[in-house]
A and B are shown apart, each in its own frame.
Chain A
Amino acid sequence: MAITQLSAFLENRPGTLYDAVSSISDAGVNIRALSVADTRDFGILRLIVSDVEKTKEVLSDNVVITQTKVIAARMSDEAGALKKILKVIQDTGVNIEYVYAFTSSVAGSAYVVLRVNDIEEAEAVLARNGIETLSDSDMTGLL
C-alpha cells in the first residue's frame, strides 16, 4: 500500500529549487507534499505529486531523480497521533530513515510520510494496529 515518492538531487545554490518547482508547475502537476534535506553541497528534494510520470518527464532533463516507495500513514490531526505510529514501528525494530508530514482536505486528517528500511514489515505492523496507510490511487483521490 506504499506510495511513490520522487527525489531530485539539487545543488545547494540559489535557484535550483525554484527551477525544479517551476518545471513541475508548468506541467500542471500538483505537489501534495515535499521535504528538502540539505547538506553543504547539495540538497535532496523529496516529492509526493499528483502525476508521477509527468513529473519524471519534465524533471529528468535537468536533474537526477530517483523513484522510491514510502509509507503515508493517516493520523488524526491531534496531539499524540504521531507518537502512536512511531511507537508501533519502533517496537518492530524497523529503522526510520527520514520522515515528513502533510495535511489534507479531509477534515481532521494528517499524514506522515515514512521512509523505512523494511517497508513490508512496517506496513504490516501498522495494519495490525489499525493504522490506515495510503496507496497511489488513494493519493489521486485525495488531490
Chain B
Amino acid sequence: MKNYYQKEIETASREEILKIQNEKIVKQVKHVYDNVPYYRDLMDKKGVKPEDIQSVDDIHKLPFLSKDDLREAYPYGLLGTDLKKCVRIQSTSGTTGKRVVAFYTQKDVDMWEECCARAIVAAGGTDEDVVQVAYGYGLFTGGPGLNGGSHKVGCLTLPMSSGNTDRQLQFMMDLNATILCCTPSYAAYLGESLAERGYKPEDNKLKAGIFGAEPWTEEMRQSIQKSLGIKAYDIYGLTETSGPGVSFECEEQTGMHINEDHFYAEVIDPKTGEVLPEGTKGELVFTSLDKEGFPLLRYRTKDICILSRKPCSCGRTHVKMTKPLGRSDDMMIIRGVNVFPSQIEAVLLKEGYSPNYQIVVDRENNTDTFDIYVEFSPEQFSDKIADVQAREKALNGAMRSMLGIGPKIHLVAPKTITRSEGKAVRVIDKRKLH
C-alpha cells in the first residue's frame, strides 16, 4: 500500500509540477522585487527585472543569497510581508554569533507543517500513530516542525523536546510511541539506553523514525534500525527555507524527495555559481516558490549533494537529493547544532584568549564528542588546579551560550597546538559522515 499525505501533488506528473512552479515563480519574483528592498537592490545590480523571469528556466538569472546576506539584512531586511501578517519567528545560529531569524505567516506555517506531514505519512504515519517528537523545541525548527506535521496527520503527539532520556524512555514505553522524531545520534543513544535497561528491540511499539538535522551514515541507519527495531527515514531542511521537511525519504530509502511545489532546487558549482546538470555533485540552492514571511530566492545552502529524477518505486515524482555529502564552507554540524569555527574564535577573543585553538570532533557510541584545545597565555596560568579548571568551566559556559552546545575545553600551554607549514589546523573532524 502506498502512503501519501497529499497524493495528487506528491505524484503529479513532471509537466504538472513545472506548471505549478512556473506560475508561482513569476508571482514570487515580482512580489519579492516589490516588497524586499534588499533583494531588489541585488536584482538591480545584476540588471534583472521581474519580467525577465517567465518560468523556472529563468531562475538562473537571479542573484544568489548567502548566509552573509542574511546576516547583513538581520533582522528585518529580507522580510517579505507586513510584520503584522507574521505569526512566528524561528532562528538558527549564524556565523560570528549573529543569528538568522526567519519569519512565518500562518500560510507559511501551514505549508511547512504540511511538508512535515508528507514526511510522516511517507514513513508510514497515520492518525492511529503516537509520534514522539524528541527534537528540541523553541527557536530550533526541529521540534515545532515535526510537532505541526504530526498534528496535521492527526497523530497523537508527544512533544517531548530533546534530552531527559529517562523520561523519553518512560513515555516511549508507557504511552506506546510508534514513530520517533529526533536527531540520528539521539535515536542511537535512545536505542543503547533501552538495551542498557534490559529491553529488546521488539519490546517497544516503535515502527519508524524520522531523523535529521545532522549528518549520518548508512551504517548508522542500519545500527539504529536494529537497536530500535524500526525503519529509519532521513529528513532534511533548513530554517532559511522553513525547517525540516524541505525534503524527506520514502520507503525506498535512496534519497530525499524535495517538495518541489514549494521549493525549487538547483545544484551549482560553488566556485563559479554555474548551474550544474542533474546527477552532478554541487552546492544545493533553494528558491522558495510561495513563502510569504521570508521568501528567499536562490539561497545557497552550502550543502553539497546530487539531484536525481530517476523514477522512484514509491510513486512520488518529486526530485530526489542525496544526503548532504559535505559542505562548501567550514560549518560543522555537531549534535545537530551548526557550528562555525569563526564563532569559536569570536568567543576566545572576547574571553581574553589567543585565537590559537583546535577543534576536535569525533563520534563515540554514535554521539558526537566536541573538544576545543585552547592556548592560554603565561599571565593566565595559575599554580592552583582549581583556577585552571574554573577557567575551563567559564570558557565552556561562554561557548555554550554562543553555540548552543558546550564543548569540553582543554587549556594547553602556549605554542603547543600543531601548526602545519605555519598555518594552524583549526578543525580535526574524525567522524566518518559521508
Which A residues contact B (CB, under 8 angstroms)?
5, 7, 9, 11, 37, 39, 41-42, 44, 46, 63-66, 68, 97-98, 115
Contact = CB atoms under 8 A, between A and B. Distances in A.
Contact of A39 (B378, B389, B416): B389
Contact of B412 (A7, A37, A39, A42): A42
Contact of B385 (A44, A65, A66, A68): A44
Interface in B53-96: none
A81 to B, nearest CB: 25
Contacts of B276: none
Contacts of B386: 97
B412 A97 contact: no
Contacts of A68: 383
B365 interface: no
Given A39-B389, A97-B384, A66 B410 contact: no
Given A41-B411, A65-B378, A66-B382, 6 more contacts: A11-B412, A37-B385, A63-B413, A64-B413, A65-B381, A66-B381
Interface string B264-291: 0000000000000000000000000000
Interface residues of B, number: 16
Contacts of A65: 378, 381
Nearest to A63: B413
A15 to B, nearest CB: 13
A4 B126 CA distance: 75
Contacts of B47: none
Contacts of A115: 383-384
A68 B383 CA distance: 8
Contacts of A7: 381-383
Interface in B392-434: 410-414, 416
Nearest to A7: B383
Nearest to A67: B383
Contacts of B388: 39, 42, 44
Given A64-B378, A66-B378, A98 B384 contact: yes
18 contacts: A7-B381, A7-B382, A9-B381, A37-B385, A39-B388, A39-B389, A41-B411, A42-B388, A42-B412, A44-B388, A63-B413, A64-B376, A64-B413, A64-B414, A66-B378, A66-B382, A97-B384, A98-B384
B378 to A, nearest CB: 5
A44 to B, nearest CB: 6
A5 B383 contact: yes
Nearest to B373: A41
Most chain B beta carbons < 10 A, residue from A11, A37, A46, A64: A64
Contacts of B376: 64
A97 B119 CA distance: 59
B413 A11 contact: yes
Contacts of A64: 376, 378, 381, 413-414
Given A11-B416, A97-B386, A41 B381 contact: no
B379 to A, nearest CB: 9
Contacts of A44: 383-385, 388
Interface string B366-383: 000000000010100111
A29 B411 CA distance: 29
Nearest to A5: B383
The 9 closest A-B pairs by CB, nearest first: A7-B383, A64-B381, A64-B413, A64-B378, A37-B385, A41-B410, A66-B381, A9-B413, A68-B383
Contacts of B411: 41-42
A66 B383 contact: yes
